[in-house]
Structures are given as C-alpha cells and as structure tokens.
Amino acid sequence: MDWYPLWNSLRIAAISSVVVFFSGIFCAYYAARLPRAIKGVLDVVLTLPMVLPPTVCGYFLLLIFGVKRPLGEFLAQFGIKFVMTWYGGILASVVVAFPLMYRTARGAFESFDMNLAYSGQTLGLSNTWIFWRVRMPACRQGILAGAVLAFARALGEYGATSMLIGYTPGKTATISTTVYQLWRTNDEVGAFRWVLVNLGISAVVLLVVNLLEDRQKKAVKR
C-alpha cells in the first residue's frame, strides 16, 4: 500500500494550518475592533469560501493562478507554479480552511473581557504584551478549537484541491483524491482502506475539539 497520499495530505494540512492560524488570528483580532458596518462587509469577504462550493473556489484559483493567467505566468518566471504541484494544495486548503479559523478566533476575541486589557494599559503594559500574555491565554481554547477544525478541513479538502492540483500518484495525490480515483477505477477495497484511514484521523480530530470545548466550558464556569 502506497502511503504517499497520507503523507502528502498531512503535509498539506499541517502547513495550511500554520498559515491559517496566524492569518486567521491577525484578521480576527483587527476585525473584532472595527465598526459593525465595516465588520459585516469584511466578514462576507473573508468567509465567502465557507459557503461557496469547493469546486467554485478551485475554479477561481485557476482563474487567478492558472499557467495562462497573468499572475500565474508572472510567478512561473520565478519557478512558482500552483497548478499540478503538491504545494498548490496548500493554497487551496488555506482558502477553504481560513474562514473556520477566522470565525472561531473572532468569536473568542469578541467574548474577551476588555477590562483585563484596560487594566494592563493602566499598568503601563504595551498592547503587544497584553495581546500575547493576557488576551491570547484567555481566548486560547476557542483559538485552539478553530485551529483543529481548520486542520481537519484542510485534511479532508477535495473540491478545490482536485481542481487546482489534480491527481498524480506520488506527486499530488491526497487521501480524498485517492479515494475518488480508486472508486472510479472500481478498486473498492483500496478506496475503503483509505476511507478507514480518513475516518480514524477525523475521529481523533473531533475528539480533540470536544476536549477543548469541555475545557472551555469548565473555564467559563470558574
């Protein structure tokens, strides 16, 4: 059994999660401080991939980063090609997983007790210190839950990934695309094996999310 799809899926999901983690926190932190009208418009833009079909997201990515598109041709001059490459899967996964991280982190920041930040400011503490030492610890359960959900979304991504990087064994194959290809070629036993692998990983991810939610509820009660 070729384990490349598992390795590639975990690699894409892990890198995507790191990118989404920091970009989601950054956008959520500043969005939570914006006026309500501006926040509403920004929410629509940043969370649109969450409601669009993944294939539509993949189509837009092809329109932007396709080899015959202006941006795609420009990046190709530097050896950067997102179409039919494994790291193109990172781009697709970031696009579809970002809204989960953003919405979860924004909700955590909005529920933060601002009196804690104001107290730190009266003590002469910088906003950076308050953010990392006060705000982030207070919101860590929600943020971690968002990161885990984003990882799970990136790991199971199929639509945008298949549109952008396709399926090439040993090069761009992921668990999701492998299941489809094996099923399409009537290899139901092989497809079922990968389904079981995906189910096992998904079960672990959901268990982690539930544990984080339980810890958050206990922290709120205290």
Looking at residue 142, what is its pLDDT?
A: 83
Task: Convert the pLDDT of each residue in 95-151 to its tens digit.
Answer: 999 999 999 888 888 888 888 888 888 888 888 888 888 888 888 888 888 888 899
Total domains in the fold of the chain: 1
* 36: amino acid identity, one letter: R
What domain range is 79 assigned to?
Answer: 4-221
Tokens of 165: 């990087």
> Given a cut of 90, is residue 19 above it in pLDDT?
yes
Q: What is the mean pLDDT of residues 37-50?
A: 87
Q: What is the mean pLDDT of residues 71-79?
A: 86
Q: Which of 15-29, 141-155, 203-217 has the lowest mean pLDDT?
A: 203-217
Residue 96 φ/ψ, nearest 5 degrees: -85, -25
* Distance, CA of 159 to chain centre: 14
Q: Which of 68-82, 108-122, 142-156, 203-217 has the lowest mean pLDDT?
A: 203-217
Q: Using 50, 70 and 90 to split pLDDT, how confident is the model at 221?
A: low
Going from the C-alpha of 72 to that of each of 1, 154, 173, the distances in angstroms are 35, 23, 22
Residues 8, 157 contacting (CB under 8 angstroms) = no
Q: In CATH, what number is assigned to the domain containing residue 102?
A: 1.10.3720.10
Residues 28, 109 contacting (CB under 8 angstroms) = yes
Task: Convert the pLDDT of each residue in 149-198 to its tens digit.
Answer: 899 899 888 999 999 999 999 899 999 999 999 999 999 999 999 999 98
Residues whose CB falls within 8 Å of the CB of residue 83, separated by 6 or more in sequence, listed in order: 62, 65, 66, 67, 72, 164, 165
Owner of token pair 């290899």: 187
Handedness of CA 204, 208, 214, 217 (dihedral sign): negative
* Distance, CA of 59 to chain centre: 18
Looking at residue 216, what is its pLDDT?
A: 63
Determine what percent of the chain is predicted with pLDDT higher than 90.
41
